[in-house]
Structure 1
Amino acid sequence: MTDLLEVTNLRKAFGDHRVIEDISFSVPEGSVTVILGPSGSGKTTLLRSLNGLELPDSGDVRIGEVSVDFAQVRPNKRGRLPSDQRAKMAALTARSAMVFQSYNLFPNRTALQNVTEGPTVVQGVPADQARQDAVELLTKVGLADHVDKYPYQLSGGQQQRVGIARALALKPQLVLFDEPTSALDPELVGDVLRVIRDLAAEGWSMVIVTHEVKFAAQVADQVLFIDGGVVVEQGPPAEVISNPQNPRTQDFLRRILEPI
């Protein structure tokens, strides 16, 4: 199986605080990688670094045929990237789509308009085609009866499913999920996880940051446990979740799966 995503020696610091330290891993095409770890371990920074929402200090990220050496990506004194570097970053960003934990929907646009925005404005897809695709995607995530509703008329789980449809509308090679259920009431979590599980079954390539350990065990092809900005343990869920070898991984999972 060909690797769709390849991450090599990625590093990121904020001032003197090193958030990511020499992280390397790969994601085969059509597979699901789940990133677990405690709060502040660098999970979200790592995820955002994969599509340039965060600018790493060094390391390489390749998605498909587009590769970026972040040691060579340096803003000028005005905080802007040179045109060639900006083009390379745009090409990397275009290969993936992010589903945010806080939905990030346009509040003044309907579910349908939120989903058509990216294809029409960013990718130049004709409006009629974008609308047809959006209706199909909203139906896929269980929102066929809600296409003309605004975010304030939707539950948190429904808004997050709009967010998933919006990401898929860009037809990305890789879908990135940043704690997709962390902002939801417990009774709404299952609907979102079912959608993600269905996408995994369809063969979408995904990287998921989540605290839903039991879900990770069901859907992941590989699991990365990150702590202190480094990969502490990595492997299939049967090893990392069911039979962890590192004491830090063992302690984390015990606290999650066996709360007092």
Structure 2
Amino acid sequence: MNDSDAHLIEVEGLRKSFGDTEVLKDVGFAADAGTCTVLLGPSGSGKTTVLRSLNVLETPDGGLVRIGAASVDFDNPSPLKSARRTEVAALRARSGMVFQAHHLFPHKTVIGNLVEGPIQVQGRDRAEAEADARVLLEQVGLAGRETAYPAELSGGQQQRVGIARALALKPDVVLLDEPTSALDPELVGEVLAVIRDLSEQGWTMVIVTHEVRFAQDVADQVLFLHDGVVAERGGAEVLTDPREERTQQFLRRVLEAR
């Protein structure tokens, strides 16, 4: 077994441009099962594009993304469109996404939101999916709110439903795109507490966040992105004792603003 075989996530040579703007230039990293990777960087650095490339919500211009046994090589497109669609679907099936602004179905109840993916996408039995959903709702502190609609919940509660919905798919990796950025400050803590619990339970996560002190608690790996490249990488010490001046400047600005 070589080193890459031990990693659950492997990204190589990721590139992406929007028009004339090169957002990702040559991004690569690996992550093991049960670890938390934090993507950090200023606005426009490419961190959210990296995250969205992991499940092809953004289609990279080049590079390779692998999660477990599923991979897509964007440098060597499949000659058949159907083959590429199959590759992308297999990669997407490995991850669950938590968005900035919940993206819940407003016309469905809380439990309806959780079982939609398992039933419609994975073909699971409704009774099984609902039983799993109730366990997840208890896990995120929302037991008893199964029949509520999103509009009846606070922003923090909606985001916790969003996290439970991602977990309901039983993914190998949970992807979180600034999960607290749309919340009122007093609601941030309840969502971070849930994510901290997931880290302690051994879920594999990749998180884009500006919550630096929270990241210190959960990060096994920190990638600081700047101008489309990984400018610094390491463990949580990147957040407390960064080597690169660009990382130091960014952290000073973020911490002074809080």
Same fold by TM (over 0.5)?
yes
Partner residue in 2 for 1:17: 21
Counterpart check, 1:33 vs 2:37? yes
What is the aligned partner in structure 1 of residue 119 from structure 2? 120
Q: Which residue of 1 aligns with 2:241?
A: 243
Residue 250 of structure 1 aligns with an amino acid whose one-letter code is Q
Structure 1 CA distance for aligned equivalents of residues 183 and 77 of structure 2: 36
Question: How far did residue 94 of structure 1 move?
Answer: 0.3
3-state SS in 1 of match to 2:23: strand
TM-fit CA distance, 1:74: 7.6
Deviations 1:92-140, CA, capped at 9 Å, x for gaps: 0000010000100000001100000000000011010011000110110
2:255 aligned partner:
257
Q: Distance in 1 between matches of 2:96 and 2:74?
A: 19
What is the rounded CA distance, in whole Å, between the counterparts of 1:180 and 1:151 in structure 2?
A: 16
1:205 maps to 204
Could you tell me how far 1:146 is from its partner in structure 2? 1.1
Q: Secondary structure at the match of 1:56?
A: coil
Structure 2 partner of 1:111: 110
Residue type at the aligned position of 2:187: L
Offset at 1:71? 1.9
Return the alpha-carbon distance in structure 2 between the equivalents of residues 141 and 177 of structure 1: 15
- Answer yes or no: is 1:191 the counterpart of 2:161: no
Gaps in structure 2 of 5+ consecutive residues = none
Give aligned-pair identity as a percent: 61
Query: Superposed, which structure 2 residues align to 1:1-260 within 5 Å?
Result: 2-73=6-77, 82-238=81-237, 240-259=238-257
Q: Distance in 1 between matches of 2:22 and 2:230?
A: 14
**1: distance between equivalents of 2:153 and 2:240?**
37
| Deviation for aligned residue 1:66 | 1.2
State the Cα deviation string for residues 24-56 of structure 1 (Å, max 9, x = none): 100111100000111111111110000111100
One-letter identity of the residue aligned with 1:7: V
Q: Deviations over 1:47-97 (max 9, x none)?
A: 00001111000000110011110123389xxxxx71011001100000001
Q: Deviations over 1:197-247 (max 9, x none)?
A: 000000000000001000001110010011111111000012x11111111
AA partner of residue 248 (structure 1): R
Q: Distance in 2 between matches of 1:97 and 1:30?
A: 15
SS in 2 for 1:23: strand
Which amino acid is 1:31 matched to? Answer: T
Cα separation, 2, equivalents of 1:86 and 1:259: 43
Local SS of the residue matching 2:191: helix
How far, CA to CA, are the matches of 2:21 and 2:155 in structure 1?
Answer: 33
Q: Distance in 2 between the 1:250 and 1:180 partners?
A: 24
Question: Shift in Å at residue 259 of structure 1?
Answer: 3.4
Count matched residues: 254
| Structure 2 Cα separation of the partners of residues 135 and 105 of structure 1 | 17
Which residue in 2 is equivalent to 1:78?
none
Measured in 1, the distance between the counterparts of 2:78 and 2:151 equals 40
Paired amino acid for 1:146: R
Encode CA deviations 1:158-196: one digit per residue, 9 max, x unaligned. 000000000000000000000000000000000100000
Structure 1 vs Structure 2 CA RMSD: 1.4
- Please give the alpha-carbon distance, in whole angstroms, between the structure 2 residues aligned to 1:241 and 1:230: 18
